[in-house]
Amino acid sequence: MHIEYDNGSYDGEVRDGLRHGRGKFTWDDGRVYDGEWMNDNLHGEGIYTYPDGGSYSGKIEDNREVGGWRQYPDGSREWWFRDAQGKLVKSIHSSGQEAHIEDNKGGTAPVPSNKPGHSLSPSTPSLNPPGRSLNPSARSLNPLARDCHNSGVAHFHRDEFEQAISEITKAIKLDATVAWAFHDRGAAFLKLNQTNKALADLNRCIQLDPTLAWPYFDRATIRFRLREWDLAIADYSAALQRDSTIAWGFHDRGAAKMQKGDLAGAVADFNEAIRLDQKNVWAYRNRAKACALLGEVHLSLSDQETANKLEQERLKNSEAESRKAAEAREATEAETARLAELTKQAALKALAAERRKFLVVLRSRLNWLNARAAQAAERKRILDGGDPVALKALADQGAMDAALALGLLYLTAKDVRQGNVEAIKWFRTAAEAGNSAGQNWLGYMYLNGFGVGKDHAEALKWLRKAAEAGDSAGQNWLGYMYERGLGVQRSYFEAIKWYFKAADAGNSDARKNLARMVPSTANTPPRIEVV
């Protein structure tokens, strides 16, 4: 059967709509796989040919090379296989000794030795992991650009890489100043094996924000794939200068140094990788190989023994988890059988008993809900009643909304001076407990000198706390302080930013301030997002 795909075509056997059996897939970029398939995966004996004439011939399981010959365009060959731990290894020769360097993360294809030729990457670079570009501070202030970026990331995590590129490209056109947008688009390009475009985007990401560590690490991983050892080492070093806690950064730099023959430098990097992650099996294994090549046999044997123990521990833990899962399945099956038998023997009786139990629990829950409702009603009555004695009693019990209400009550007292003093006392109680409205009012009192001497620094402190907690009044007043330069260097950008946040939350004063500073927003409905 002949089937056309977005990136190539397939000729061969199909089962249930999946490539299964013997077949040949030809990629648009010139790659060809001719061999056995299973459930749409490369599985069995086959030959994988690269555009430059190189090839891999041997056994493949679930898209992973298991063992076979790697032939290069110059006619030379190397044997690849997976060791007892299932990790991909290859043979290299140095000083008459035979050793191998393992794929640092158990990747899906071999890394060729220092010979020309195309290769699949040794490991998937850590591009676009959760927690990096998903941080809102890494996104554009432009809401449309941010929406496009978010959409692109969502496509990426669904493996829809072309759609991801399309959406993030829209974000970049709207705002080309966001470093992580170029980083994430580069990740999608790399998934499609468009290495040059991926490198271009990572380069631009680094230009926009050279303080980020991960773009350097990811670019180094690509250069490792391309066998550009010096450039890879330089990028790993740049990444580690910015974040010295990346254990895999030290490990991979050590692997690159081994490829260049810098065994002492490799050992130093493997040492650091192990210091950061004492269960890094690959760091122990590769340090063992480097020590063997340096003639440090005892150190090599010690590291190999440690690596084997860690691997056995991992396998033991895996087996334990498997046993627990099996026991859980057995317990579930036994419980299912017991319930089935119970239903057969006394279905109506059991149902009646369960119903009685349910009614008891339901009554208890209803009583609890009624008690909570009564408490809430009493609390609302006190908050709405304006009785300072009742409010104080409630505030003393830790109810900060009562402390806030008490402060507002004193703010309207006939004796303004004494009322302001009492008001600021209760506003402070609420503010220090983390109540954002109390923080706003305390900042307001300091800003205007009500009940206390004017103190712009203290006003800025509490208004910022309120604003960052999402209080729209605090956001509006913080924007006002930035606009007027009160207690802080005047910044119209920061003023507009906080007016935008407050307006987006529905604050009418902020809308007026925003319309005054940015006339084009006067008739714009406030659905604005600012990070």
For the stretch 224-249, pLDDT in tens is 989 999 999 999 999 999 999 989 89
pLDDT at 380: 65
Residue type, 103: D
How does residue 121 score in pLDDT terms, banded at 50, 70 and 90?
very low
pLDDT at 139: 57
pLDDT at 110: 30
pLDDT at 104: 38
Least confident of 162-176, 331-345, 388-402, 496-510: 388-402
Residues of the chain with CATH 1.25.40.10: 136-314
pLDDT at 34: 93
The arithmetic mean of pLDDT across residues 15-42, rounded, is 90
CATH number (2.30.30, 2.20.110, 1.10.150, 4.10.640) of 2-99 reads: 2.20.110
Q: How many helices (H) and strands (E) does the chain have?
A: 18, 11
Name the CA dihedral angle for 17, 23, 28, 32, rounded to a multiple of 10 degrees: 150
Q: How far apart are the first and last CA of the chain?
A: 53
Question: What is the pTM for the complete model shown?
Answer: 0.40
Distance of CA 405 to the CA centre of its chain: 41
Residues of the chain with CATH 2.20.110: 2-99
Residue 77, strand partner residues? 71
pLDDT at 114: 29
DSSP state of 520: G
Task: Say which residue, 185 or 395, is predicted with more confidence.
Answer: 185
pLDDT surpassing 90 at residue 269: yes
Residue 45, strand partner residues? 59
pLDDT at 522: 57
pLDDT surpassing 70 at residue 22: yes
pLDDT surpassing 80 at residue 203: yes
Please tell me which of 128-132, 374-378, 449-453 the model is most confident about, judged by mean pLDDT: 449-453
The arithmetic mean of pLDDT across residues 271-276, rounded, is 93
d(CA 26, CA 53): 14
User: pLDDT tens, 280-294?
Assistant: 999 999 999 999 998
The arithmetic mean of pLDDT across residues 170-174, rounded, is 92
How does residue 145 score in pLDDT terms, banded at 50, 70 and 90?
confident
Element (H, E) at 299: helix 297-385
Looking from the CA of 441 toward its CB, the CA atoms found within 13 Å total: 28
Q: Tell me the average pLDDT of the chain.
A: 81
pLDDT at 88: 63
pLDDT surpassing 60 at residue 337: yes
pLDDT at 86: 63
d(CA 292, CA 191): 36
pLDDT surpassing 80 at residue 419: no
Instruction: Dump the DSSP string for 270-294.
Output: HHHHHHH-TT-HHHHHHHHHHHHHT
d(CA 340, CA 334): 10
| 161-174 helix and 143-157 helix, angle to the nearest 10 degrees | 170
CATH number (1.10.3720.10, 3.40.50.720, 1.10.260.40, 1.25.40.10) of 136-314 reads: 1.25.40.10
pLDDT at 388: 77
Residue type, 79: W
d(CA 413, CA 89): 82
As a whole number of Å, the CA-based R_g of the chain is 33
d(CA 144, CA 93): 55
pLDDT at 186: 92
CB 233 within 8 A of CB 256: yes
Tokens of residue 195, six digits? 């290495």
The arithmetic mean of pLDDT across residues 133-145, rounded, is 61
The three-class DSSP label of residue 459 is helix
The arithmetic mean of pLDDT across residues 165-173, rounded, is 93
pLDDT at 33: 93
Closest-CA residue to 152 (of 143, 162, 142): 162
The arithmetic mean of pLDDT across residues 489-515, rounded, is 93
Percentage of the chain modeled with pLDDT above 70: 83
The arithmetic mean of pLDDT across residues 43-62, rounded, is 86
Helices (H), 412-507: 416-432, 436-448, 456-468, 472-484, 492-504
pLDDT surpassing 70 at residue 169: yes
Tokens of residue 243, six digits? 């974040």
pLDDT surpassing 50 at residue 91: no
Phi-psi region of 321 (alpha: psi -120 to 50; beta: other; left: phi over 0): alpha
